[in-house]
Structure 1
């Protein structure tokens, strides 16, 4: 029972424990939904999720306001998985060429391993700037890349450059190409051929940008050596 002392409500410990239990149960249900999508595809039914976790559908909905809320939580979990794969690659360790390949490969590898989750995110339906979770994720990656590009250029003596636009363009290009490839039943490129094409194209964009700033950089140049110069 809630009691009052000095006019202030006292929090019932049982209520707090129940809230924690509900939050943990919600996490478990979202994880189960993600696993179901991986196995059966993007058009999963809530009834199938209820069967999977062994509860009536009515009980399942006690943990979510509605289907839209469940879908949003699933997308957030998928985005978290994607970002955990991407973020470590944005450090630009090794040579420029290795850094480009590492970022491109992280994106392509995750999509290849989780094509149904990628489709569930609706990547192709969201462009950067439309305010959606997917769009915000693309923008976050682009901003992280532009910050790293900026660090490299400052080490080369270039203080100002349109790096955000270039980073947005690179992210959009890679994302669109991968999205088209994963949806295409008659792929004209193998996964490794796509990886090679994307790396070559991204480097071409970076090289053209650098040359426009009167900077020549070898793809075999180590980024750490530039930043330590």
Structure 2
């Protein structure tokens, strides 16, 4: 009998990975981390941007050292909160952004998805503005770029149908749309907090009208007539 062989067998028996304990521990850590992030988002919405880790620990049902064990510092927790909020926004936005529907409806539903998410998630707009002390903002920038890239693809498909060969224009347009929707949403939230805001349906419709006017103007510049009720250009005018 080999001594080294016996040691190898014993080591394998003592290895937590051999019975899945390591995997279960990783899953537990992931759930605990999500629990803390979810609690922090609730505290942000309830208590505002000056919330403390003691409040988060109480809401999550953990001790403050547990938060530091998972995140290291408040900035890391803020990044995790921004990432979770961005993921939730994507879950709402992406399906409607790519839904096969009339052009105006697709734009409207995408704008309304953003407004609706912020309406249902108090305080989250602060994360997207990077105004919380210690927030680094890389996650927010990455989320903005992701949305802009999705818009670039969508507008690029419209541009092909309109026979528009201006990729730089599409890239700039996509960025401007992300900025316009974000700035309008922040303005709307400030007005609502002050008790002086238009209804969400009005804001979504008017912002959609403005975006559609850009599409219509670009199409007209290239001799194409488009309809808000159709996903495709409906008639090409002779040039």
Residues 11, 155 of structure 1: CA spacing in aligned structure 2 closer, same or farther, 3 A cutoff?
Answer: farther
**In structure 1, how many angstroms separate the alpha carbons of the residues matched to 2:61 and 2:200?**
38
Alignment partner for residue 27 of structure 1, among 29, 34, 58?
34
Asked whether the 8 Å contact 1:92–1:148 carries over to 2, the reply is no
Question: More deviation in 130-139 or 188-197?
Answer: 130-139
Alignment partner for residue 178 of structure 1, among 165, 182, 185?
185
* Cα deviation code 1:155-178 (max 9, x no counterpart): 344454521211211221121111
- TM-score scaled by length of structure 1: 0.81
Asked whether the 8 Å contact 2:44–2:51 carries over to 1, the reply is yes
Residues 54, 120 of structure 1: CA spacing in aligned structure 2 closer, same or farther, 3 A cutoff?
Answer: same
Once the two structures are superposed, the pairs formed by residues 46-61 of structure 1 within 5 Å of their partners are: 46-61=53-68
What is the SS of the residue equivalent to 2:226? coil
Alignment partner for residue 200 of structure 1, among 209, 218, 222?
209
Deviation at 1:154, TM superposition (A): 2.1
Residues 123, 110 of structure 1: CA spacing in aligned structure 2 closer, same or farther, 3 A cutoff?
Answer: farther
Question: More deviation in 177-186 or 74-83?
Answer: 177-186
**In structure 2, how many angstroms separate the alpha carbons of the residues matched to 1:142 and 1:39?**
30
Asked whether the 8 Å contact 2:79–2:137 carries over to 1, the reply is no
* Cα deviation code 1:163-208 (max 9, x no counterpart): 1211211221121111122123253533232222211111112222
1:210 alignment partner in structure 2: 219
1:134 alignment partner in structure 2: 140
Residues 15, 136 of structure 1: CA spacing in aligned structure 2 closer, same or farther, 3 A cutoff?
Answer: closer
1:42 alignment partner in structure 2: 49
Alignment partner for residue 125 of structure 2, among 99, 112, 118?
118
Q: From the CA coordinates, give the structure whose radius of gyration is larger.
A: 2
- TM-score scaled by length of structure 2: 0.78
Corresponding residue pairs, total: 216
Q: Which runs of 4+ in 1 moved over 6 A?
A: none
* Cα deviation code 1:196-229 (max 9, x no counterpart): 2211111112222222333221212234989xxx
Residues 18, 45 of structure 1: CA spacing in aligned structure 2 closer, same or farther, 3 A cutoff?
Answer: same
Residues 44, 218 of structure 1: CA spacing in aligned structure 2 closer, same or farther, 3 A cutoff?
Answer: same
